[in-house]
């Protein structure tokens, strides 16, 4: 498996990974309406392509197939962080996280932080993050718990 920056032209493959993983994995703990709001079937692809170009995510690639991606913002915020639904628990997240932390340290970012789903909480704890606060927003009429987490960097 290789981790690198995304390449123009991969936006639709990234959308499919995000959409499917959101519906299949996050659909285990969030409602159908919530996951459809986060990853709608009729997404404006021009908007998505611009977002990806701006975010310039890291991607994990195995046999020319993208199996995960993660975004690091200049202030240390980890925004989208997804492993393909068929690649959960196979080291994709660990490799992506390693690339993010290395990049953050090289940019002298003092800490990383993210709003983490119920399903991703354990992964981030294993990477050394601490829960700052449990959040419970109401989305589509139902609770959508997540966790604001942070890790201080050397």
pTM of the predicted protein model: 0.93
- pLDDT score at 97: 98
CA angle at residue 98 from 92 to 99, to 5 degrees? Answer: 95
For each of the domains in the chain, give its residue range(s) and CATH number, in order of start: 2-108 (3.40.630.30)
pLDDT in tens, the chain (154 residues): 999 999 999 999 999 999 999 999 989 888 898 899 889 999 999 999 999 999 999 999 999 999 999 999 999 999 999 999 999 999 999 999 999 999 999 999 999 999 999 999 999 999 999 999 999 887 777 778 899 999 999 9
- pLDDT score at 138: 76
Where helices occur in 25-65 by DSSP H, the ranges are 32-38, 45-55
Query: In 3D, which of 65, 107, 114, 116 has the Cα closest to residue 86?
Result: 65
Where helices occur in 39-144 by DSSP H, the ranges are 45-55, 92-106, 121-126
């Amino acid at each position: 498996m290789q981790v690198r920056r995304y390449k123009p032209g991969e936006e639709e493959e990234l959308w499919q990974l995000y959409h499917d993983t959101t519906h299949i994995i996050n659909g285990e703990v969030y409602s159908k309406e919530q996951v459809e709001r986060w990853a709608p079937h009729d997404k404006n692809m021009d908007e998505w392509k611009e977002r990806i170009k701006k975010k310039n995510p890291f991607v994990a690639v195995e046999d020319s197939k993208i199996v995960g991606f993660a975004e690091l913002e200049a202030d240390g915020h980890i925004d989208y962080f997804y492993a393909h639904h068929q690649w959960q628990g196979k080291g994709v997240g660990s490799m992506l996280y390693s690339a993010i932390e290395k990049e953050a340290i090289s940019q002298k970012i003092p800490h990383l932080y993210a709003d983490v789903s119920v399903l991703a909480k354990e992964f981030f704890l294993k990477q050394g993050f601490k829960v700052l606060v449990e959040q419970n927003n109401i989305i589509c009429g139902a609770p959508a718990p997540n966790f604001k987490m942070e890790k201080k960097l050397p």
